[in-house]
Amino acid sequence: MDSLPLQLLLGVGSVLGVYTIALELSTEQLESFLLGIGIGLSVFALGSVVTSQSYTNKTAEKPRSERSIKEAGPPQTPHHVHVLSQLQDMFELSTSQLQRIVKQMLWDMNRGLEKDNEAIKMLPTHVCHLPKGTEAGSYLALDLGGTNFRVCVFTLDGKGGVETRQSKFMIADAVKTSEGAALFDFIADCVKQFFVDHQDTLSNGVNHKWKLGFCFSFPVNQVSINEGSLLVWTKGFTASNVVGENAVKLLQDAFTRKSLNIEVSALVNDTTGTLMSLAYSKPSTCAGMILGTGSNCAYIEKIENIIKYKGSREGISEMLINMEWGGFDDTHIVIPRTKYDYKLDSDTPTPGTWTFEQLISGLYLGEIVRIVLSDLADQGDLFENCGASPELKKKNAFETAYMSKIEIDNSHDLIKVKQILEVQLGIKHTTLIDRRIVKSVCALVGTRSARLAAAGVAAVVTKMNKLATPGCIVGIDGSLFELYPNYQNRMRSALVEMLGMCADNITLEQARDGSGQGAALIAALAEE
């Protein structure tokens, strides 16, 4: 019975929340919303049965103090409670703030579908069909744009099954920031190495006439399925002479230089690849999302809504859109930014751009934490016994992986946190209070990321008009979603806060290593 008031709150919250978002929708979409709300309220009337199954651990908007105590562990000294509460004010996003973010994202999505160069680019992918599951054959795929570069061969069995062979390669920063031809030569050399690694098990070797899907996870203005120019580098890549150029040609030229008999049949974003690969076995997949080194989303849009699309529309009813949501709210209209976010942004190669991605993705979260900790130490609020170490002052010294390890440490003395701070970061002597503060900072930064990602999901599913009916699968790949403790729960809680019972219609599904496989599938479809 305790849960009934909570459910009442959620019911009302969901109506208000959904209503707020619905203000931007078309009549058709609004009808579905009202249907959804009707369903939601009927289910609500069923009372505690649903509540106990679905919502017992989920939060409606909570007062700040309640959240802070949970994240921070046992109370600190009054001064430290004050420091933490100031940080909470900066980093926490309330339900109503999230709902405003969803509304703004929907607005920006529509603008991006109308015109080029909008905040959310909404790039047509030229992928107009989901796989049927009957595609068959062996295809090469390259996956460039995450932490590692991967070369793969996927053998599709025509029944939804796939056999994979792959080699992973580290890309040194020197290669990412070199000259474009050097980067593409490196890629071609890795492909050669792949065939050496797998010569005993691949039936076709390097001399076979391979078709290749190139998963190039950057914003690309695509003019056909195998032609598109890079709009801007992201995620720390800066290789020269690539922006504005056709990425397929650059790759094809490198293959020619290295005497490789490979035809690049498809150019694919990782979000598109993720959607396609999950759809191969789960046809209800409607969006593909990356929550890893970078962040972005692709979804299925009706062709008549893609107003700016200039290609032929004949026989096409839908097309996948690569949103490139990293550029959302670069003008800071809806998402509150902290002084730490500004500092992080000012140290990137292209300040003022891709700032939504900076708040969400793995490439940046550890660095935000480092900047906060270093500032707290400078203010005398942290590491009072020993001050910050030279290591803590080094850019990118605090890895996002540390955040996961810190957040999962529930030992009484926070032993793992101590080890990371003292061994990895060279801070000489930490107190338990120091460690609790560090853990709370990680929780604040990690939670903000998950809640913003959830706002993105809410916007995309709303845009597709799929909130009111069950069965919309959002395939998500990337280390944050897969490995970061509590990330998935935090996303779900935020979805329930924003959408109430409609959140139950959305399935967030892990899509492991889907981008390369999706690129291979798109190469297969391009042949048909």
222, 269, 355, 358: residue in contact with ligand BGC (rule CB under 6 A): 269
**Which listed residue (60, 144, 251, 290) binds ligand BGC by CB under 6 A?**
290
Cα separation of 476 and 509, whole Å? 6
CB of 134 to ligand BGC, least distance (A): 28
Which listed residue (108, 143, 185, 270) is catalytic?
A: 270
Three-class secondary structure of residue 155 per DSSP: strand
Q: CB-wise, 269 or 440, nearer to ligand BGC?
A: 269
| 270 counts as catalytic | yes
Per CB under 6 A, 294 contacts ligand BGC: yes
- Closest residue by Cα to residue 304 from 149, 110, 491, 448: 110
CB of 227 to ligand BGC, least distance (A): 17
Q: Which is nearer to ligand BGC, 353 or 424 (CB)?
A: 353
Q: Where are the alpha helices (DSSP H) in 223-346?
A: 247-257, 270-281, 339-346
Query: In this chain, which of 126, 235, 448, 451 binds ligand BGC, going by CB under 6 A?
Result: 235
Q: Which stretch binds ligand BGC (CB under 6 A): 100-108, 291-299, 380-388, 407-415?
A: 291-299
Decide whether 140 or 230 has the Cβ nearer to ligand BGC.
230
213 DSSP β-pair partners: 141, 266
For residue 40, state whether it binds ligand BGC (rule: CB under 6 A): no
| Virtual torsion, Cα 189, 194, 200, 206, nearest 10 deg | -50
Residue type, 374: S
Helical axes 362-378 vs 339-346, angle rounded to 10°: 120
Give min distance, CB of 146 to ligand BGC, in A: 6
Q: How many CA atoms lie within 13 A of 322 on its CB side?
A: 28
Tell me phi and psi for residue 384, to 5 degrees.
Answer: -65, -25
If one asks whether residue 500 binds ligand BGC (CB under 6 A), the answer comes out as: no
* CB of 164 closer than 8 Å to CB of 517: yes
Which residue number, 92 or 143, has a Cβ lying nearer to ligand BGC?
Answer: 143
- The DSSP output letter for 424 is I
Task: Check if 428 is active-site.
Answer: no
The yes or no reply on residue 143 touching ligand BGC (CB under 6 A) is: no
Piece of 61-69, 165-173, 265-273, 518-526 that binds ligand BGC (CB under 6 A): 265-273
User: What is the closest distance, in whole angstroms, from the C-beta atom of residue 270 to ligand BGC in the complex?
Assistant: 5
3-state secondary structure of 395: coil
CB atoms within 10 A of CB 346: 9
Residues near ligand BGC, by CB under 6 A:
145, 217-219, 234-235, 269-271, 290, 294-296, 324, 326, 357
**What residues are labeled active site?**
235, 270
